[in-house]
Amino acid sequence: MTDLDFDKHHLWHPYTSMQNPLPVQAVSHAEGVRLFLEDGTALIDGMASWWSAIHGYGHPILDAAAKAQIDKVSHVMFGGLTHEPAVELGKLLVHLTPRGLEQVFFSDSGSVSIEVAIKLALQYWISLGRSQKSKLLTLRKGYHGDTFAAMSVCDPVTGMHHLFKEVLTKQIFVSEPQTPFGQPLPAQELDELRATLAAHHSSIAAVILEPVVQGAGRMYFYSADYLCGVRALCDEFGVLLIADEIATGFGRSGKLFACEHAGITPDILCLGKALTGGYLTLAATLCTPRISSVISQDGGVFMHGPTFMANPLACAVAVASIKLLLQSPWQQRITGIEAQLQRELEPCRHLASVRDVRVLGAIGVVEMREAVDMATAQRFFIERGVWLRPFGRLVYLMPPYLIEPADLQHLTQAIHQFAQSVR
């Protein structure tokens, strides 16, 4: 039995069936923006490994950080112990994130950082003697992860977790924003949110949303004015605001954090994906002193503690990744990627198979009129030397920031060819 045969029969890949699995490709190594398959095929990666490998693969600075740390200590429990990489990473995050976020809780993955955020919000109100504030209000078409609390705030109808809707905690949903990014928000677009908060704020612990960019549920970029309005309404009705920046953090939207487009500070902020430049799994949940002081009053403790939280190896690479980003011309790179995506994806808009084309920062989206057959699409793209993984009707790009224009053009041309091929 070959390795691929074993993989097919025994390894369960994400979002796939064991009886009729999607085809998988065996990667032998990766370098820069390219994945090299065992058969010698080279693929330009347009996904940055689910949006995390912002510096590409095999970056010497990140490699060196991992090697240096593994010679010291690769892991140690964070209960009762600390270490330099965690402290240095915490300092960076407090300094760089929106002002007022001063406490950092490390965890294993983006979904877990959402679980932590939700528990923080719930425990905050419990500590204030207001345990009836136990619901979350969120936007339709959102996506926040695959664990149980995270699934409960994903769209229960159009999201990928609708199979579980009968067993998930019932949350409160309002319509997703409709005004595109860069356009002024009509006042009435906040009417539903205002009415819902007015009616239910006594039972709502927090509003949770993806700022400016609704990611895996919709790949839509909405007006920053909407985010400003949400912050104001949360303050008016005494509800916390959780910002899920797992996908948008560290420059992807054109700002270091998407909340900066609106100039707001959430009460709780979730980070992941690009935190370590795609090297190791690590996430962080930040909150304001108001939340931590309430939870900690009278000797209270926050009841969460992942085994691998603040893993020294991951923290060391995260520090190196953030410093590498800040020392690079990342804003210039993102601006260049955005302009090229706008220029080269726009012709797709005129194809009969295409419903819309959207670009923001280093994110390019071609929305098809019909759902894409994943297996067919993957074969099509691999034959053209690119790695893209569409979902639903969405064919999209989130490349590493250091991608060269010629490689990005190869990706955009492949998407245009694919859209042309769909009848």
The confidence score (pLDDT) of residue 160 equals 74
| Active-site residue identified among 45, 108, 225, 244 | 244
Instruction: Give the pLDDT band (50/70/90) at residue 225.
Output: very high
Instruction: Give the pLDDT band (50/70/90) at residue 236.
Output: very high
Q: E strands within 91-195?
A: 103-107, 135-139, 172-174
Q: Which of 300, 294, 246, 298 is nearest to 274 (CA)?
A: 246
The confidence score (pLDDT) of residue 421 equals 96
Residue 170 designated active-site: no
| Active-site residue identified among 133, 141, 255, 273 | 273
Does the pLDDT value for residue 249 go beyond 90? Answer: yes
Single pTM value for the model: 0.97
Helical axes 312-327 vs 84-96, angle rounded to 10°: 40
Query: Mean pLDDT over residues 106-132, rounded?
Result: 97
The confidence score (pLDDT) of residue 108 equals 94
Break the chain down into helix, strand, coil percent, rounded to 5: 40, 15, 40
Q: Residues 149, 114: contact at Cβ < 8 Å?
A: yes
The confidence score (pLDDT) of residue 405 equals 98
Query: Mean pLDDT over residues 207-226, rounded?
Result: 97
CATH domain 3-58+329-421 topology: Aspartate Aminotransferase, domain 1 (3.90.1150)
Beta bridge partners of 103: 287
| Active-site residue identified among 15, 67, 191, 373 | 15
Does the pLDDT value for residue 178 go beyond 80? Answer: yes
Instruction: Give the pLDDT band (50/70/90) at residue 103.
Output: very high
Query: Mean pLDDT over residues 69-78, rounded?
Result: 98
Residue 141 designated active-site: no
Q: Residues 355, 361: contact at Cβ < 8 Å?
A: no
Render pLDDT for 124-173 as a digit per residue (tens, 0 to 9). 999 999 999 999 999 999 999 999 999 999 998 877 777 898 899 999 99
Residue 373 designated active-site: no
The confidence score (pLDDT) of residue 161 equals 75
Instruction: Give the pLDDT band (50/70/90) at residue 267.
Output: very high
The confidence score (pLDDT) of residue 162 equals 78
Render pLDDT for 270-297 as a digit per residue (tens, 0 to 9). 999 999 999 999 999 999 999 999 999 9
| Active-site residue identified among 143, 220, 226, 396 | 143
Instruction: List the chain domain ranges.
Output: 3-58+329-421, 64-327
The confidence score (pLDDT) of residue 21 equals 87
Residue 407 designated active-site: no
Domain 64-327 top-level CATH class: alpha beta
